[in-house]
Amino acid sequence: MKIYKLYINNQFVEADEGKVFDSINPSNGKIFAQIADGSIKNMEAAIISARESFDKGVWRQLSVQARGAYLIKIAELIRKNAKELAQLETCDVGKTTKQAIFIDIPTCAETFEYFGKISKELDDKINPVAAPVKSVLVREPLGVVACIIPWNYPLIMTAWKMAPALIAGNTVVFKPSSKASVSVMRLAEIISEAGLPQGVVNIVTSTNHEVASQLAKSLLVDKLTFTGGTETGAEVMKMASGNNKRLTLELGGKSPNIVFDDCDFDAAIGGAMTAIFMNQGQMCTAGSRLLVQENIYEKFLESLVKKTKALKIGDASDYETDFGPLVSRAHRDYVLQWIEQGKKEGAKIICGGKTPEGNQNKNGFYVEPTIFSDVTNSMRIAQEEIFGPVLCVMKFSTIEEAIKIANDSKFGLAACVWTKDDNKAQSVARQLQCGTVWINTYGGFYNEAPFGGYKRSGFGRELGVEGLLEYTQTKHICIDQTPGGKPLVSGWF
């Protein structure tokens, strides 16, 4: 059984006292790897490594193109080791083999490659001002960037945060979730192989929340980018407030998926299933509130239930599996508690709602894909993020009603609209209070386009130029160009 070590100052090191924790395969409940369980001392060493590396300036003084060459090399090595990385994601978090191979690993590589080819976006820019000066806007790295990610998309989120931080000239301290560390630590080996300068990337795994909190508290860290739960995000803000640390927070969601009666029916059915059952519903953007117009409500639900019941549940490593396990026994039990809550609130289960039967599933952490009808938007199951395969279906009659229901949420991460009427789709999209709206599709994330939330879904952006600039600070350089070199200021007194 492989033991994955911490990556600090370009060295793979054991945790203090040799502590490790287990990675359990959620498909069968068996331990398949162990990971170093880092301490506060280990994290402090990683922060110091990143600080010293940045202050020496070797990385930030490279040209953008030179830094980009390292990122492109990382992308090449990810593709070279794609099969192994996909297997590790499947064994570590229960992501189906199909998803890991066709979505997660390619996306990770593409993100490193995209930011590795960035150039003009970080160039100096001339400000046109009505004065005899040359006004220059310079973008510089922030310094040490700390990154904390959850367990649902470990490799993709690593790339989303690390690649733009690095290309901008920062050094990085990275903390993956203890529930999903294996593929990230294999990526650490790939990063080491790519040969980045000493201390530029540091990765610390730990089960101790106090270890991660050092990233928010440390005066040596200039920025923290966090993806995770809304309540945890609030705690991160409190911890970082003492040192005015720059923050990017991508938090929870309860995304509305609005289906109008003039939609492409089959496309909307498939899109609704993908929006809630991809990755077993363990997505911050999950379309967990399905709003269906009353004219097609019964027909839509009948078709949706039929197709959902046909999904093959099983071991995530089986290529024929459509729907794998949840990440852990604790999270499975948490989701089952929410299903019971829905029953108590008067919602009706029309599909799933329990652990699947059969000996092949008895040791894994499975929950059937679950659909509730008769849901009202005031129910807790419609307002709180469950982070599992639980769909809350609601009926609406008018456009105005759909928009009102959709916006009646503390979250504002994403939404979907299904209609053949482009004008209606555009109008609705602009009235929805969220950071991303998909029209007649779901889940398109692009390196060129920003992603982030409104309201309690966080602030700041990932990806795109907006996401890149989150990792920079601006400096204004003002050069006098007065004829004769005698500006007014020089003769004021």
Same domain? 236 vs 268: no
Residue 445: inside a domain, yes or no? no
pLDDT at res. 362: 83
User: Would you say the C-alpha torsion 71, 74, 80, 85 has a positive or negative sign?
Assistant: negative
Q: Is the pLDDT of residue 3 over 80?
A: yes
Q: Is the pLDDT of residue 360 over 80?
A: no
pLDDT digits (tens, 9 = 90+) for 122-135: 999 999 999 999 99
Same domain? 323 vs 245: no
pLDDT at res. 344: 98
Nearest to 349 by CA among 375, 384, 310: 375
The contacts of residue 25 (CB under 8 Å, 6+ apart) are 31, 32, 91, 92, 94
**Looking up tokens 């907006």, which residue turns up?**
466
**CATH code of the domain in which 199 resides:** 3.40.605.10
pLDDT digits (tens, 9 = 90+) for 275-297: 999 999 999 999 999 999 999 99
pLDDT at res. 357: 87
pLDDT interval class at 242 (50, 70, 90):
confident
How much of the chain is helix, strand and coil, in % rounded to 5? 40, 20, 35
Nearest to 293 by CA among 327, 323, 330, 268: 268
The contacts of residue 262 (CB under 8 Å, 6+ apart) are 419, 420, 421
| Mean pLDDT, range 85-109, rounded to an integer | 97
| Mean pLDDT, range 87-97, rounded to an integer | 97
Q: Is the pLDDT of residue 178 over 90?
A: yes
pLDDT at res. 12: 98
**CATH code of the domain in which 432 resides:** 3.40.309.10
Same domain? 175 vs 209: yes
Same domain? 156 vs 239: yes
The contacts of residue 134 (CB under 8 Å, 6+ apart) are 126, 478, 479, 481
Residue 448: inside a domain, yes or no? no
| Mean pLDDT, range 342-360, rounded to an integer | 93
Largest Cα–Cα distance of the chain, in whole Å?
Answer: 90
pLDDT at res. 238: 94
Residue 273: inside a domain, yes or no? yes
Q: Is the pLDDT of residue 165 over 90?
A: yes
Residue 466: inside a domain, yes or no? yes
pLDDT digits (tens, 9 = 90+) for 190-234: 999 999 999 999 999 999 999 999 999 999 999 999 999 999 999
pLDDT digits (tens, 9 = 90+) for 435-466: 999 999 999 999 999 999 999 999 999 999 99
| Mean pLDDT, range 409-428, rounded to an integer | 98
Local structure of 24: helix, strand or coil: strand
Residue 444: inside a domain, yes or no? no
pLDDT digits (tens, 9 = 90+) for 35-70: 999 999 999 999 999 999 999 999 999 999 999 999
Share of residues in the chain with pLDDT > 90 (%): 97
| Mean pLDDT, range 150-166, rounded to an integer | 98
Token duo for residue 308 = 């959902």
Same domain? 245 vs 386: no
Residue 129: inside a domain, yes or no? yes
Residues 477, 303: Cα–Cα separation, whole Å: 62
pLDDT at res. 142: 98
**89 counts as catalytic:** no
Domain residues for 245?
3-251+457-477
Token duo for residue 143 = 């310094």
Residue 449: inside a domain, yes or no? no
Residues 282, 256: Cα–Cα separation, whole Å: 16
Cβ neighbours, 10 Å, residue 128: 5
Nearest to 391 by CA among 454, 349, 440, 330: 349
| Mean pLDDT, range 124-151, rounded to an integer | 97
Count structural domains, the chain.
2
Same domain? 187 vs 222: yes
Mean pLDDT of the chain: 97
Same domain? 136 vs 247: yes
pLDDT at res. 361: 77
356 close to 404: Cβ distance less than 8 angstroms: no
pLDDT digits (tens, 9 = 90+) for 361-370: 789 999 999 9
Residues 116, 124: Cα–Cα separation, whole Å: 18
Same domain? 365 vs 230: no
Choosing from 284, 351, 392, 434, the catalytic residue is 284
Same domain? 428 vs 325: yes
Residue 82: inside a domain, yes or no? yes
Same domain? 237 vs 309: no
Report CA 28 to chain centroid distance, whole Å: 26
pTM of the model: 0.97
Kind of pairing, strands 223-227 and 144-148?
parallel
Token duo for residue 230 = 């809304």
Task: Give burial (CB, 10 Å; 0-12/13-18/19+) of 196.
Answer: buried
Choosing from 250, 368, 462, 470, the catalytic residue is 250
Same domain? 217 vs 155: yes
**466 counts as catalytic:** no
Same domain? 80 vs 164: yes
